[in-house]
Structure 1
Amino acid sequence: MFKKTSTFLLVTALLVGLSLNTSTVNASRNKKLISNMVTKKISADGLTSALAKVPGYSNPLISHKFGADPFAMVYNGRVYVYMSSDSFEYKNGSIADNDYQNIKTVSVISSSDMVNWTDHGEIPVAGANGVAKWAANSWAPAATHKVINGKEKFFLYFANNAGSIGVLTADSPIGPWTDPIGQPLITKGTPGCNVEWLFDPAVFIDDDGSAYLYFGGGIPGGQNPSQAQIANPKTARVIKLSSDMTHTVGSAVTIDAPFMFEDSGIHKYNGKYYYSYCSNFSGNHPYGAPPKGDIAYMTSNSPMGPFTYQGTFLKNPGNYFGVGGNNHHAIFQFNNQWYVVYHAQTLGKAMGITKGYRSPMINKVSFSQSGAINNVIEDMQGVPQIANLNPYIRNEAETIGWNAGISTEKCQAPGAMVSSVNLDVTSISNGDWLAVSKADFGSGAKSFKANIASTVGGKIEIHLDSADGPAIGTLNVSSTGGAQQWRLMQCNVQSIRGVHNVFFKFTGNSSQNLFNMDYWQFVK
């Protein structure tokens, strides 16, 4: 292992948050990450510095790992974001450009307040260790929920690279997931679906319970498409789904989206259906056409069209963050506010590695009186927190507002929402920390407890409002005899009142992982 200095810390690339997975492919990928170090800054006081998402800001949503092609689903007072699991690829021992070929899992995070996000790990979708063993990849997921035969069911749609689209089902938004049909839901043999790219699905359930899937992309004409093919690719599609959400009904309908490239999106506002997409990067884009790599939109009075082009609302992230790439989005409403989730290379930029590894971002969406979508301002500040965190219930340690130096992994202790799906915080070194935003302590707390596993031990210093703010208690962590041998530990704290950011600062003398943290809770 490596010793910290006053300026830099050499740590594994796990510190960008690529957590251990159940699939052999992802496990071997992360072992490779352990042997490839990245350099992280250490502040003058010895604290590990935050990357990309700094205290007070809410973008990117997570900074302990990547996540691309985000799609948001609102359920039971939470926003669930499903993402392609971007992770470093290597060539000759160096980090290579992201070619998406190793993406076989879907990452899931959720939040009830838009700042503190819980990491639910990765769904093993494709490949020999995946749920859908027929699939090679799991790109650009979309999710929804519906009551089927009196029971709430969840549906995850994903692209098997550009060749087909599959569907998984579960009884909770985080799994465990199954493959209900054992084959693709949509192929080029599906009526009306013979397009260049069968990917980037977006799912929509209308007010009457009817469901639709939007997908497609690419430009016809091979390596040398004509300007007419570039301007009107006619590769976007919409198809109706069966009542069980796992089969299609009839033939797909073409959406004639100008300069269509990829990234279908759909939402309904004031009775109108809004289809949105990423414009292509080819040919000439004349005045009135969507600029290259922007998110454009069309409207219709019907979920299956015809749609009429209206304009653009989300510029390519390169316009705001200084590093571009492809553009991917999803519009959603939560607590009477409209948002757009999209990706940008903000974490990669903070690391100095802009090779196509993307992170999820959220900003507000607004509409004009005529129903036009106003241009979205993309920034690192992000959106305000809409609810305080309750510190008196079980809070998963992987619920993170901000962090520095930590990672997450699959945990053997039972989970809170689903017993078989749980993560813990790991890769903890001296000076690392994690924090939650705006915890409401009300009239006061007297003690703190946490579920810990450790072979080494250390301390958890509890600070208010900043990593070097007032310390109100210290939990002494002793060895439990194993990295997955769990024990509930407790300490007293000074009386805490009101609303505070809470920083858990980790300290210890060993160069090994000090301990793992499953969940925590304050006691009144």
Structure 2
Amino acid sequence: MWVGLAALPAPTVTLPAIAQPGPPIVQTRFTADPAPLVHDGVVYLYTSHDEDDATGFKMRDWLLYSSTDMVNWTDRGTVASLKTFPWAVQTNDAWAPQVVERGGKFYLYAPISVAGSPKNVIAVAVADKPEGPFVDVLGKPLIAAQDGFIDPTVWIDDDGQAYLYWGNPDLWYVKLNKDMTSYSGPIIKVDRILDYQEGPWFFKRDNRYYMAFASTCCSEGIGYAMSDKPTGPWTYKGPIMDHDARATGNHPGIIDYKGGSYLFGFHYELNFAVTPIHHERRSVNVAKFSYNADGTIPNLHWWDVTSAPQIEALNPYKRVEAETIAWTSRIKRNRDRSYNWAPGVTTAGDPSKGVYVTRTLDRTFIKVAGVDFGAPGANRFFATVANGAPGSAMELRLDRIDGPVIGTLQVGETGAVGQWQERATPVKGAIGTRDLYLIFRGTGDRPLLDFDHWRFAR
């Protein structure tokens, strides 16, 4: 039945890039210290997590997001926390992590603190899958407490030797053993690199070694150095991003993925959407770049002049997790590119369903970019929902928040709390490659529904 659905044209739409230069790629949480890992064709992005009410650093766990197109990011939930290390201080200090894979195992390195010491240690936890669960295998620090022992970064060289670097304001390294949970030889302090502050990111590309880092505080940009050997000496090459007064901190992560090179870092735009006062509430961002012919990295200047385009379309005919998001209504951006904070979509966890979308108030929405409906397109939409309020619905629009309506899924009451149900509705006009807006409709102050996953059918 097509009641209320007008015939809609199917204009030719090119695959969209991110809607605005430099938006944060996660809007449902404050995230920082990006640590991307490419594994089996997927970018896994590990981050630290600033609590919503943080003023200074208030960090208790580590989060994971994944993407195959660099624009739509799926929330994979909390992969580790201070509880992973029961011997650590449990109230704060879950700082910058990195995860690497070796021999089918995944190793998470993170700086934490221990009771009775003002100094940091570096811990390691191990998992069988990128999404964890990560388990503390040592029951003690990998690197003992010392001032400035934060921000670990790891690279496994072609000969199998792994190196662990870390440090603020000095840079240190050690050679890890093959088990990745112990080391051999001394801890070595590196000769000072110009403009180095913290947040090192160590990697190798085309037989050149790179050390990217947060440049001297404050404000912090992103700089880098290069070497012919994994242990230096390191030659400073300049900024990747300039020092910028809008960011008192930074932390790079650099990868190659599907033929492109990407820089991750963070800024404070979502914090300043809430208040003009600086708090440690950060937001991860990503930019695509190309290396120069000599292997050097160009100056990308700042997030407001660079971005990462969508590199492949999303298939709507297979299961798509509801927490796969290019943009949400938690943040609304108006024409002058300022932010307005609005309560809206966020994510939560369920032991049986994993991560799902919640806090879906009236007119809040999820944008999914570059959805390839093809031709003749889709004729039906399915969603798995729970905790539906009377009169709740999900409106499906294309291209814009006020774009053409292709269908409306009536949800209403869904029965017992936590009882997930699949609901369906006919759609019309879902043709070509379009941005999809899932807009929640209803009344009252309570969340309208919880939302686990969706798909279209032809």
Global fold match (TM > 0.5): yes
Per-residue deviation at 1:251? 1.5
Find the aligned partners of 2:244 and 2:134 in 1 and give their Cα distance. 33
Q: Kindly indicate whether the alpha-carbon contact (under 8 Å) linking 1:70 and 1:341 is maintained by their aligned counterparts in 2.
A: yes
Matching residue's letter, 1:348: N
Query: Any idea what the Cα deviations from partners look like across 1:216-247, whole Å, max 9, x if unmatched?
Result: 113xxxxxxxxxxxxxxxx2111111112111
Find the aligned partners of 1:166 and 1:459 in 2 and give their Cα distance. 46
Per-residue deviation at 1:135? 1.9
2:172 paired residue number: 237
For these two proteins, the number of residue pairs brought into alignment is 415
Using a 3 Å threshold, how does the CA distance of structure 1 residues 347 and 169 change in structure 2: closer, same or farther?
A: same
1:154 paired residue number: 106
1:143 matches 2:66: no
1:413 matches 2:352: yes
Query: Any idea what the Cα deviations from partners look like across 1:343-402, whole Å, max 9, x if unmatched?
Result: 100111223353221100111233322222210132346211001001011111000011
1:324 matches 2:247: yes
1:66 matches 2:30: yes
Matching residue's letter, 1:261: Q
Q: Kindly indicate whether the alpha-carbon contact (under 8 Å) linking 2:240 and 2:301 is maintained by their aligned counterparts in 1.
A: no
Q: Kindly indicate whether the alpha-carbon contact (under 8 Å) linking 2:18 and 2:310 is maintained by their aligned counterparts in 1.
A: no
Superposed CA RMSD: 2.0
1:500 matches 2:451: no
TM-score (ref. length: structure 2):
0.86
1:441 matches 2:376: no
2:327 paired residue number: 402
Find the aligned partners of 2:373 and 2:144 in 1 and give their Cα distance. 53
Q: Kindly indicate whether the alpha-carbon contact (under 8 Å) linking 2:18 and 2:308 is maintained by their aligned counterparts in 1.
A: no
2:337 paired residue number: none
1:186 matches 2:150: no
Per-residue deviation at 1:412? 3.6
Q: Kindly indicate whether the alpha-carbon contact (under 8 Å) linking 1:363 and 1:378 is maintained by their aligned counterparts in 2.
A: no
Find the aligned partners of 1:482 and 1:266 in 2 and give their Cα distance. 50
Find the aligned partners of 1:56 and 1:357 in 2 and give their Cα distance. 21
Residue from 459, 462, 486 that aligns with 2:393: 459
5 Å-filtered alignment, 1:28-43, equals none
1:486 matches 2:450: no
Find the aligned partners of 2:262 and 2:410 in 1 and give their Cα distance. 42
Find the aligned partners of 2:286 and 2:217 in 1 and give their Cα distance. 24
1:105 matches 2:74: no
2:211 paired residue number: 275
Query: Any idea what the Cα deviations from partners look like across 1:325-357, whole Å, max 9, x if unmatched?
Result: 112111111112111100100111223353221
Find the aligned partners of 1:455 and 1:501 in 2 and give their Cα distance. 25
Q: Kindly indicate whether the alpha-carbon contact (under 8 Å) linking 2:195 and 2:223 is maintained by their aligned counterparts in 1.
A: no
Find the aligned partners of 1:413 and 1:278 in 2 and give their Cα distance. 40
Q: Kindly indicate whether the alpha-carbon contact (under 8 Å) linking 2:18 and 2:307 is maintained by their aligned counterparts in 1.
A: no
Ranges in structure 2 where 5+ consecutive residues have no aligned partner: 1-16, 114-118, 330-343
Q: Kindly indicate whether the alpha-carbon contact (under 8 Å) linking 1:483 and 1:516 is maintained by their aligned counterparts in 2.
A: no
Find the aligned partners of 2:444 and 2:135 in 1 and give their Cα distance. 42
Using a 3 Å threshold, how does the CA distance of structure 1 residues 114 and 59 change in structure 2: closer, same or farther?
A: same
Q: Kindly indicate whether the alpha-carbon contact (under 8 Å) linking 1:253 and 1:304 is maintained by their aligned counterparts in 2.
A: no
Find the aligned partners of 2:408 and 2:285 in 1 and give their Cα distance. 34
Using a 3 Å threshold, how does the CA distance of structure 1 residues 505 and 55 change in structure 2: closer, same or farther?
A: farther
Per-residue deviation at 1:184? 1.0
Matching residue's letter, 2:387: S
Secondary structure class of the residue paired with 1:349: helix
5 Å-filtered alignment, 1:194-209, equals 196-209=147-160
Per-residue deviation at 1:56? 5.1
Find the aligned partners of 1:56 and 1:264 in 2 and give their Cα distance. 28
Secondary structure class of the residue paired with 1:339: strand
1:264 matches 2:200: yes
Secondary structure class of the residue paired with 2:271: helix
1:217 paired residue number: 168
User: What is the percent sequence identity of the aligned residues?
Assistant: 34
2:315 paired residue number: 390
Matching residue's letter, 1:360: V
1:232 paired residue number: none
Find the aligned partners of 2:220 and 2:441 in 1 and give their Cα distance. 45
2:116 paired residue number: none
Query: Any idea what the Cα deviations from partners look like across 1:446-478, whole Å, max 9, x if unmatched?
Result: 211111001414101111111211111111113
TM-score (ref. length: structure 1):
0.76
Query: Any idea what the Cα deviations from partners look like across 1:292-324, whole Å, max 9, x if unmatched?
Result: 633222222221222223322222343xxxx22
1:519 matches 2:453: yes
Q: Kindly indicate whether the alpha-carbon contact (under 8 Å) linking 2:389 and 2:412 is maintained by their aligned counterparts in 1.
A: yes
Q: Kindly indicate whether the alpha-carbon contact (under 8 Å) linking 1:239 and 1:304 is maintained by their aligned counterparts in 2.
A: no
Find the aligned partners of 1:304 and 1:97 in 2 and give their Cα distance. 37
2:129 paired residue number: 172
Find the aligned partners of 2:403 and 2:429 in 1 and give their Cα distance. 15
Secondary structure class of the residue paired with 1:387: coil
Greater alpha carbon shift after TM alignment, 372-381 vs 72-81: 372-381
Using a 3 Å threshold, how does the CA distance of structure 1 residues 57 and 469 change in structure 2: closer, same or farther?
A: farther
1:84 matches 2:48: yes
Secondary structure class of the residue paired with 2:428: coil
Ranges in structure 1 where 5+ consecutive residues have no aligned partner: 1-52, 90-95, 189-193, 219-234, 283-291, 415-421
Secondary structure class of the residue paired with 2:30: coil
Query: Any idea what the Cα deviations from partners look like across 1:147-202, whole Å, max 9, x if unmatched?
Result: 2xxxx2111111115510011111211111211111111114xxxxx5x3111011
Q: Kindly indicate whether the alpha-carbon contact (under 8 Å) linking 2:63 and 2:80 is maintained by their aligned counterparts in 1.
A: no
Q: Kindly indicate whether the alpha-carbon contact (under 8 Å) linking 1:55 and 1:402 is maintained by their aligned counterparts in 2.
A: no
Per-residue deviation at 1:54? 8.2
Q: Kindly indicate whether the alpha-carbon contact (under 8 Å) linking 1:445 and 1:496 is maintained by their aligned counterparts in 2.
A: yes
Per-residue deviation at 1:277? 2.0
Find the aligned partners of 1:483 and 1:238 in 2 and give their Cα distance. 51
Per-residue deviation at 1:259? 4.5
Find the aligned partners of 1:439 and 1:259 in 2 and give their Cα distance. 43
Find the aligned partners of 1:56 and 1:164 in 2 and give their Cα distance. 39
1:370 matches 2:370: no
Query: Any idea what the Cα deviations from partners look like across 1:108-166, whole Å, max 9, x if unmatched?
Result: 1111101101111223421xxx111112232001111122xxxx211111111551001
